[in-house]
Amino acid sequence: MKKVKIKSLFLNGLTIVLCLLYLFPIYLILVNSFKSRAEMYENMLAAPSRFSFKYYISALEKMNFFTSVRNSLILTVVSILIIVVFTSMTAWMFARSNNRLSTILFDLLIATMLIPFQTIMMPLMQEMNWFKTTLHIPMTDTIPGLIFMYLGFGAGMGVFLYHGFITGIPLSLEEAATIDGCNTWSTFWKIVFPMLKPTTMTVIILDVIWIWNDYLLPSLTLKSTINRTIPISTAKFFGQYTISWNEAMAALVVTIIPVVIFYLICQKYIVEGVAAGAVKG
């Protein structure tokens, strides 16, 4: 009995130690962000002898961190809100109307999920510039323009996930609502949409991970400092200055803090959402 206990203690301990070793890079940036330059290069693995927040303050300032967080938050939240509203509505219509048009459009949405972003980035930017110069609609270098593009890119996966879920729901509830005098609009929002909650969670989680971290698309459209998102300001930070690594590490620590907070709060949903998205995608 005692042997079993020791063995289990050993295995549990070993697993945790290995997991922590796996996160070694995070440890490295964390400890060195508090050290002085001399102390850092003396031994990068050692814990800091005293905690100095000097580099944090300068990194936050150089990155315009709080502006970037605000931009990233607005971009992510509004994009996802719009994606959820429009993809669920469209998917419901496609699932409940058996006409050719729905089939064709649905297949088109799924097929285009194969297109890598790099394939359309240049013509997309040409088109958006044309919107700006010819039609005077400010599509480039604005957060709303970017949200518009995220709706287009998020359409395929959103409709696909909702469509799969809706085809599994029996029609009877919706028919009953119609008989009771609900019009199509309120049937959807009062009866159908609340039932879609599991898929809505999946769509939200997958799109948060995608939009919050996306770099290439915003880097092509956002040019003004004031509009930068977190990935953009991080890239600018690493590109612009002859980097002091203490400061760079402090910058990296603060950029992953929002992600870690999000993860700790929504862990259950995130794991479920990612699994559902991967299996169905």
Site for other proteins in 92-111 (CB under 8 A): 92-94, 96-97, 105, 108-109
Shortest distance in whole angstroms from residue 17 CB to other proteins: 10
Q: Looking at beta carbons only, is 174 or 207 nearer to other proteins? A: 174
Question: Which ranges of the chain would DSSP assign to H, the alpha helix?
Answer: 2-22, 24-32, 37-42, 54-63, 65-96, 100-111, 117-133, 143-166, 172-179, 184-186, 193-195, 197-213, 216-221, 230-240, 245-280
Site for other proteins contains 275 (CB under 8 A):
yes
Site for other proteins contains 255 (CB under 8 A):
yes
Site for other proteins contains 234 (CB under 8 A):
yes
Shortest distance in whole angstroms from residue 226 CB to other proteins: 20
Shortest distance in whole angstroms from residue 189 CB to other proteins: 11
Shortest distance in whole angstroms from residue 139 CB to other proteins: 10
Nearest-angstrom CA–CA distance, 37 and 35: 6
Nearest-angstrom CA–CA distance, 148 and 221: 12
**What number of chain residues touch other proteins (CB under 8 A)?**
86
Among 1, 116, 134, 242, binds other proteins (CB under 8 A): 116
**Side-chain-side CA neighbours of residue 136 (13 Å):** 0
Site map 139..158 versus other proteins, x via CB under 8 A: ---------xx-xxx-xx--
Site for other proteins in 3-62 (CB under 8 A): 8, 11-12, 15-16, 19-20, 22-26, 28-29, 32, 41, 44
Q: Which amino acid is at 245?
A: W
Among 51, 53, 66, 215, binds other proteins (CB under 8 A): 215
Among 178, 189, 193, 198, binds other proteins (CB under 8 A): 178
Among 127, 144, 173, 176, binds other proteins (CB under 8 A): 127
Cβ neighbour number for residue 52 with a 10 Å cutoff: 16
Q: How far apart are the first and last CA of the chain?
A: 47
Nearest-angstrom CA–CA distance, 152 and 250: 35
267-to-162, 205, 260 alpha-carbon distances in Å: 22, 10, 10
E strands in 27-68 = none
